[in-house]
Amino acid sequence: MNHPVALLTGAIAVVGANSMVLAPITAAVARDLGGDPAEIVQAAAAYGLTTAISAMFLAPRSDTIGADRALNQAVIILIISLLASIFAPNKWALIGAQAFGGLGAGMAIPAIYVLAPQLGPKGEEKRTMGLVLSGWTLALVAGVAGSGFLAEWAGWRAVYVVLGVLMTGLWIALRRTDLKVPRVATSATSPLTALRVPGIWRGLFSALALMLSFYGTYAFVGAHVADALGRGTDVAGFITLCYGTGFGISTLLDKYFDRLAPLTAGAVSFAALAVIYALMAQLGMNLTLLAVLAVVWGMAQHLALNFVVSRLSALDQSQRGAILGLNSSVTYLAVFGGALAFRHPYELDGFAICNTISAVVAAVAFVECVLPQRVARRT
């Protein structure tokens, strides 16, 4: 892994962790700032909402000013947000700080995705993207497991102090690394120009299906472990760790998937996800089998995410920022949609029905991948 690609992987890890740390520490934040944990979750919601908006309207800046400059500006916004979070005197100040941070995240993630395929070796764009995406494994482990432990022993503000230090280190590293790539945009881009790119709607459908099926199941893992298996948050964290381990291991498979035709790779990934969700529905009451399936789930999710991002990235080089901004908007909207759409089924019939719905969504995405190309040209 060359230095720029390693730096982008670290950037995904730090920015991604920042988006995940609040969930495990909401109880500690509520005890300090007042209110109940459900009220503190509003800060995470604000972060997700502004990230989706920023990804749609600010991410296209990568096409005009350069993804390297857009990433640098985004990290500065995130540093300011973290400082505000550290010194937040009440929940409303924290909500405001997190909402401001979402503006930076919505610019940062698409910019990283724009840079990844251009900074790696020629002919290995998907493998390079897979390496950068492995940063989400570090984000998952550090964000979910690390933040809970740190908040327990040093307080929730210490979590944001550590993130602030890491984000500042990232900014310094970005300033000292040449991430400039040729800019091919001939005019300003926007969500409207990106939505006119041939193939964009099918690409975004794949992104929505992937993330909706994922969050619809992932959002209720902890509840399932507590309600149906009668275990605590440590076990839920272990399942998450298993998923993250599989996600990281799957990086080793990227070079083999590079040899497949893009839609074939997508079809294989979504077929695997459909089978895994179906098996979860049948075997999810067994903790050992659930842990094993979580590892395989992480592997398949990584391959599918690599396919989706690479597919969108290849549509139009001159509008990569705008296109990948739409991808991030879809992703963060799926966070809300997955939790909301799957909540009622979970309350009716538990984790298995969530798995079943996720399997159906993944199966539909598989069908889209195998549709004849003559149909694809019409959309």
Last residue of a domain, one of 183, 217, 244: 183
* CB 68, CB 179: distance < 8 Å: yes
The packing angle between helices 200-218 and 320-349, to 10°, is 40
Distance CA 99, CA 200 (A): 28
Q: Is the pLDDT of residue 378 over 60?
A: no
Who's near 373: CB < 8 A, 6+ residues apart?
none
Within 10 angstroms of residue 254's Cβ, the number of other Cβ atoms is 22
Distance CA 294, CA 298 (A): 6
Last residue of a domain, one of 183, 208, 233: 183
CATH code for position 255 = 1.20.1250.20
- pLDDT of 192 reads 86
Distance CA 356, CA 346 (A): 11
Confidence (pTM) = 0.84
Distances (CA, A) of 88 to 32, 33, 93, 157, 308: 11, 9, 5, 9, 37
Q: In this structure, is residue 66 part of a structural domain?
A: yes
* CB 326, CB 195: distance < 8 Å: yes
* CB 286, CB 255: distance < 8 Å: no
Same domain membership, residue 208 and residue 169: no
Distance CA 323, CA 313 (A): 7
Same domain membership, residue 281 and residue 163: no
- pLDDT of 187 reads 67
- Using the structure block, give the residue that is written with the tokens 């009622």: 344
Q: In this structure, is residue 237 part of a structural domain?
A: yes
Distance CA 40, CA 75 (A): 24
Same domain membership, residue 206 and residue 172: no
Q: Is the pLDDT of residue 84 over 60?
A: yes
Q: In this structure, is residue 295 part of a structural domain?
A: yes
Same domain membership, residue 121 and residue 47: yes
Mean pLDDT, residues 130-140 taken together: 87
Same domain membership, residue 303 and residue 171: no
Distance CA 128, CA 120 (A): 6
Same domain membership, residue 179 and residue 115: yes
pLDDT, tens digit, 9 for 90 and up, residues 180-213: 777 665 667 788 888 999 999 999 999 999 999 9
- pLDDT of 258 reads 78
121-130, 207-216, 223-232, 242-251: range with lowest mean pLDDT: 121-130
Dihedral in degrees, nearest 10, Cα atoms 220, 151, 102, 131: -70
The encoded tokens of residue 147 equal: 């933040």
Higher-confidence position of 125 and 221: 221
Mean pLDDT, residues 230-243 taken together: 82
- pLDDT of 377 reads 43
Q: Is the pLDDT of residue 379 over 60?
A: no
How many domains, in total, are found in the chain?
A: 2
User: Binning pLDDT at 50, 70 and 90, where does residue 50 land?
Assistant: very high
* Helix, strand or coil, per DSSP, at residue 183: coil
Q: In this structure, is residue 26 part of a structural domain?
A: yes
Same domain membership, residue 236 and residue 138: no
Mean pLDDT, residues 102-126 taken together: 87
The residue range of the domain holding 104 is 1-183
Instruction: Name the residue among 335, 275, 281 with its Cα closest to residue 22.
Output: 335
3-12, 66-75, 236-245: range with lowest mean pLDDT: 236-245
Amino acid type, 42: Q
Same domain membership, residue 160 and residue 200: no
Q: In this structure, is residue 21 part of a structural domain?
A: yes
Q: In this structure, is residue 188 part of a structural domain?
A: no
Same domain membership, residue 231 and residue 368: yes
Same domain membership, residue 201 and residue 118: no
Distance CA 33, CA 328 (A): 31
Within 10 angstroms of residue 3's Cβ, the number of other Cβ atoms is 11
Last residue of a domain, one of 183, 207, 223: 183
Same domain membership, residue 321 and residue 197: yes
Q: In this structure, is residue 260 part of a structural domain?
A: yes
User: Binning pLDDT at 50, 70 and 90, where does residue 271 land?
Assistant: very high
- pLDDT of 337 reads 73
Q: Is the pLDDT of residue 374 over 80?
A: no
Q: In this structure, is residue 217 part of a structural domain?
A: yes
Mean pLDDT, residues 21-30 taken together: 81
- pLDDT of 375 reads 44
Please tell me what DSSP assigns to residue 177. Answer: S
Mean pLDDT, residues 238-243 taken together: 87
Distance CA 89, CA 87 (A): 6
Same domain membership, residue 197 and residue 167: no
* Helix, strand or coil, per DSSP, at residue 230: coil
